[in-house]
């Protein structure tokens, strides 16, 4: 018998076994090896040799971080507010052997555990706490999920709550609360500004009290500012003390004859209403028209008693 006829089939058989027993694993992959159904160990990365013809079998495991999206969960908070919350969970396979042996589908199991944990934590938290302390809620959920998946060889690296969907009624109530808070702050700031301005005005009043001419200077500055526009109307306020002094001077400068003359004219004037104070009107007209002089004042004082006699 020719040896070549035996060697060639054996060589082909050996080469086929060699090629079927070689595996290449990437850096982020590990191969869990089973020999006749029994777990041996995890191999990789690089070139892996397996006992051919089904003696050893391998299952690849990806060690990269997986972003697991948790669908919106309808739940009720501790203060009885119904809302919908969704989140994302970041995890990776830390022990490939446990992930294959201890759990049938680690991806599905992690997803279900994350959903139930999220609903449980939200149900134990109040709405204000959930909105204000989101980082703390994320850490609590991550710790619970990581503890639950540790026997499966899964390492949970992070949990982030993406969105909190509130009912429309609650959104309107929160908007009113925020608006009221803004108004309160505005009123407090305005009151604080008035308080500070009153202090400055008190200091300015002390300076003006020591230097009365400062009032006139300030009045002139204000008049200049008002008259900056061509179509503006400038109003000059007159102190009440000045009006009183003018009225007193006009009363002293009137003679008895002038008073009687004004009274007679008032009686003949049908335009004046009944009960009008004619003397007061005469004094006002005298002050406006400038009737009477200071030189006549002393002379008329002596003539009035003589006429009365």
163 and 86 Cβ atoms separated by less than 8 Å: yes
User: In whole angstroms, what is the distance from residue 127 CA to residue 130 CA?
Assistant: 5
88 and 66 Cβ atoms separated by less than 8 Å: no
pTM score > 0.85 for this model? no
Burial of 94 from C-beta contacts in 10 A (0-12 / 13-18 / 19+): middle
* pLDDT recorded at residue 239: 61
- The highest-confidence range among 10-14, 23-27, 143-147, 305-309, by mean pLDDT, is 143-147
* pLDDT recorded at residue 306: 44
- Sign of the torsion formed by the C-alpha atoms of 226, 230, 233 and 234: positive
* pLDDT recorded at residue 300: 46
| Nearest-10 crossing angle of helices 278-289, 256-268 | 110
pLDDT at residue 113 tops 70: yes
pLDDT band at 246 (very low <50, low <70, confident <90, very high): low
pLDDT tens-place string over residues 52-80? 877 888 999 999 999 999 999 988 998 88
User: In whole angstroms, what is the distance from residue 35 CA to residue 20 CA?
Assistant: 15
* pLDDT recorded at residue 272: 47
Mean pLDDT, residues 164-180 taken together: 87
Residue 277: DSSP 8-state: -
pLDDT band at 295 (very low <50, low <70, confident <90, very high): very low
pLDDT at residue 301 tops 50: no
């Amino acid at each position: 018998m020719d040896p070549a006829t035996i060697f060639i089939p054996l060589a082909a058989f050996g080469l086929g076994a060699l090629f079927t027993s070689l595996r290449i694993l990437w850096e982020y992959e590990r191969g869990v090896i089973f020999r006749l159904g029994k777990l041996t160990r995890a191999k990789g990365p690089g070139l892996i040799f397996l006992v051919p013809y089904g003696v050893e079998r391998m299952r690849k495991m990806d060690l990269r971080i997986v972003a697991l999206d948790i669908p919106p969960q309808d739940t009720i908070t501790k203060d009885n507010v119904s809302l919908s919350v969704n989140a994302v969970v970041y995890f990776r396979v830390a022990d490939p052997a446990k992930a294959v042996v201890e759990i049938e589908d680690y991806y599905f199991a992690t997803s279900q555990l994350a959903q139930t944990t999220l609903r449980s934590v939200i149900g134990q938290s109040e709405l204000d706490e959930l909105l204000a302390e989101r980082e703390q809620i994320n850490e609590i959920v991550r710790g619970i999920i990581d503890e639950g998946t540790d026997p499966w060889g899964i390492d949970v690296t992070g949990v982030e709550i993406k969105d909190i969907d509130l009912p429309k009624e609650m959104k309107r109530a929160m908007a009113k609360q925020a608006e009221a808070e803004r108004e309160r702050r505005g009123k407090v700031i305005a009151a604080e500004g008035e308080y500070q301005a009153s202090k400055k005005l008190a200091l300015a009043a002390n300076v003006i009290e020591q230097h009365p001419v400062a009032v006139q200077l300030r009045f002139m500055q204000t008049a200049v500012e008002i008259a900056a526009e061509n179509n503006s109307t400038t109003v000059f306020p007159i102190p009440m003390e000045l009006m009183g002094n003018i009225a007193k001077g006009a009363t002293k400068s009137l003679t008895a004859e002038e008073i009687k003359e004004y009274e007679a004219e008032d009686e003949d004037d049908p335009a004046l209403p009944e009960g009008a104070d004619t003397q007061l009107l005469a004094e006002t007209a005298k002050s406006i028209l400038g009737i009477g002089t200071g030189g006549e004042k002393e002379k008329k004082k002596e003539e009035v008693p003589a006429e009365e006699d």
